[in-house]
Copies of this chain bind each other. A is one copy, B any other.
Amino acid sequence: MFPTNGVRVKYGVRMSSQDPPWRTPPAKPVVKPRLSRELVVRTGLDVLLREGLDAVSMRRVAQALGTGPASLYAHVATKDELVELMLDQVLEEVPLPAPDPDRWRDQIRELLRAQVAAMQAYPGIAKVAWQVMIPIGPNALRHGEALLSLLRAGGLSLTHAAYAADALSLYTKAFAYEGSAWRAVDPTEVAARGRQMGEYLDSMPPDAFANMQATGHLFTAETAAERFAFGLDLLLGGLTSRTG
């Protein structure tokens, strides 16, 4: 029949001849894959992709697995750990460069851009990078080490490399969240916020918010890549004065 490893027949399909005659066999001996940490995490990402981060609750993930919320706690300590594992899973797909002292600046740019892209593929996942204080998953650590290596390859001292990595990571996480959040919510709501802000600014003395009025049109999703590159150039450009 089924391989006994990895599948499970609910309520036991076998019936003994001693069973009373009115014992009805289960209507649907549904084949259900055995739960595992990885399966729970993957299902969580599935729910996130389909219904957004807010829909990722223990109950919803359990429902997607055809079970109850209590079953998940055999594989995951808490919900925070689940979403942290989901984030780490997303980072796993990002390739890490081998430091090249001639291209370290471009390599940093590529790495951070790839991080943002990976996170934006799962709208809302960047939020958990802020919810959990310090990402500690294996892949998060690998990314941290890779960034530090690139900065060291650029000739920075240990302390400067550490501080620069901190600033670069913070900025990248912040940017990933911003873009990720915009994509996750209803676009009409974003538009409503923008209109609300415009109305407020218009109701004020015209010179009170002159620069805001003049630059408001620049903060759109279209300029996102450009803005990210600009901020990255600022940070990396600032490093030129500290190294060769």
A interface, CB within 8 angstroms of B:
127, 130, 133-134, 136, 138, 141, 144-145, 148-149, 152, 158-167, 170-171, 173-175, 177-178, 181-182, 185, 190, 193-194, 196-197, 200-201, 208-212, 214-215, 218-219, 226-227, 230-231, 233-239, 241
Contacts and interface: CB of A to CB of B under 8 A. Distances in A.
A212 B144 contact: yes
Stoichiometry, as copies per complex, reads 2
Nearest to A209: B145
Contact of A162 (B138, B178, B190, B215): B215
A8 to B, nearest CB: 33
Given A164-B234, A166-B227, 13 more contacts: A133-B190, A138-B200, A141-B197, A141-B212, A148-B215, A152-B211, A158-B214, A164-B230, A166-B219, A167-B231, A171-B174, A231-B235, A234-B239
A112 B160 CA distance: 21
A116 B177 CA distance: 19
